[in-house]
Amino acid sequence: EDQVTQSPEALRLQEGESSSLNCSYTVSGLRGLFWYRQDPGKGPEFLFTLYSAGEEKEKERLKATLTKKESFLHITAPKPEDSATYLCAVGYAGGTSYGKLTFGQGTILTVHP
Amino acid sequence: GAVVSQHPSRVICKSGTSVKIECRSLDFQATTMFWYRQFPKKSLMLMATSNEGSKATYEQGVEKDKFLINHASLTLSTLTVTSAHPEDSSFYICSAEDRRNEKLFFGSGTQLSVL
């Protein structure tokens, strides 16, 4: 059974305090691993897609990495506006559409000024 | 700007009424759209896959007669919650697949409250 587990459930940081969020996955054939940001009462906002182990992608203060079993979202020198829930999701190979994703439960990030 | 538009953002209705939620892809054609449901502080649960011009595919445990999906054009999918009851109250989110770049974009969500 495909599973996605994110840790920690919640993370509180001081502004400028770098850290990482973890996403562990078990999937029968990975088609892509997705990171999204979700603000309260809003739909998820696309951040990254990673396809193969060793791949890395960056966007501003965020950097996503992928291994065969997990992905990390590194946040460098976070700011209060980075506070949100970060969702990890996997799409599996063999399906007719990559968009049928299995989501983790999310990590609630709070960055204090 | 948003590439997937979802309306309404919030709806309050009486028990027994039906509610329609629209999901539009704004600058690309989406042959496939997805409908998710999200409970407070929980992750997204896929309800169904909406395919343009054909019947939707529902996930296990989702009542297809309760949640009617129509995908009549390449840019529009609708979810109708029929005979809504308080237990249907939830945050519903649609997504559309842009196959040009394999990106999946989400709508802004609809908060449904059934009284």
Which residues of A fall within a CB distance of 8 Å from B103? Answer: 46, 49
Contact, A38 vs A106, CB < 8 A?
Answer: yes
Token digits of residue A31: 């088609």
Whole-angstrom distance, CA of residue B67 vs CA of residue B44 = 16
Question: What residues pair up with B81 in beta bridges, in sequence order?
Answer: B19, B67
Contact, A21 vs A62, CB < 8 A?
Answer: no
Nearest-CA distance from A16 to chain B in Å? Answer: 26
B48-64 mean pLDDT? 90
Cβ-defined contact of B104 to A103 (cutoff 8 Å) = no
Point out the residue among A42, A97, A105 whose CB comes nearest to the CB of B43: A105
**Banded model confidence at residue B41, pLDDT cuts 50, 70, 90:** confident
**Banded model confidence at residue B98, pLDDT cuts 50, 70, 90:** confident
Which residues of A fall within a CB distance of 8 Å from B106? Answer: 36, 43-46
- If you compute the radius of gyration of chain A from its CA atoms, what whole number of angstroms results? 14
pLDDT tens-digit profile of A69-105? 999 999 999 999 999 999 999 986 555 556 678 899 9
Residue in chain A lying closest to B105 (CA): A46
User: At residue B82, does pLDDT exceed 70?
Assistant: yes
Point out the residue among B6, B46, B91 whose CB comes nearest to the CB of A100: B46
For chain B, positions 3-42, list CB contacts with chain A under 8 A: 4, 6, 32, 34, 41-42
Is the omega angle on the peptide bond into residue B86 within 30 degrees of 0, that is, cis? no
Report the mean per-residue pLDDT for chain A.
91
pLDDT of B17: 96
Token digits of residue A64: 């996503």
Distances (CA, A) of B54 to A71, B19, B72: 36, 22, 8
Which residues of A fall within a CB distance of 8 Å from B34? Answer: 99-101
Report the mean per-residue pLDDT for chain B.
91
Token digits of residue A107: 């990590």
**Interface with chain B: mutation pick from A7, A85, A88, A101, highest number of B CBs within 10 Å:** A101
pLDDT of A101: 85
Q: Coil, strand or helix: which one is A56? A: strand
**Interface with chain B: mutation pick from A86, A98, A109, A110, highest number of B CBs within 10 Å:** A98
pLDDT of A91: 83
Concatenated DSSP letters of chain B: --SEEEE-SEEEE-TT--EEEEEEESSS--SEEEEEEE-TT--EEEEEEEETTS--EEPTT--TTTEEEEEEETTEEEEEE-S--GGG-EEEEEEEEETTTTEEEE---EEEEE-
Nearest-CA distance from A103 to chain B in Å? Answer: 6
B71 to chain A, any CB pair closer than 8 A? The answer is no
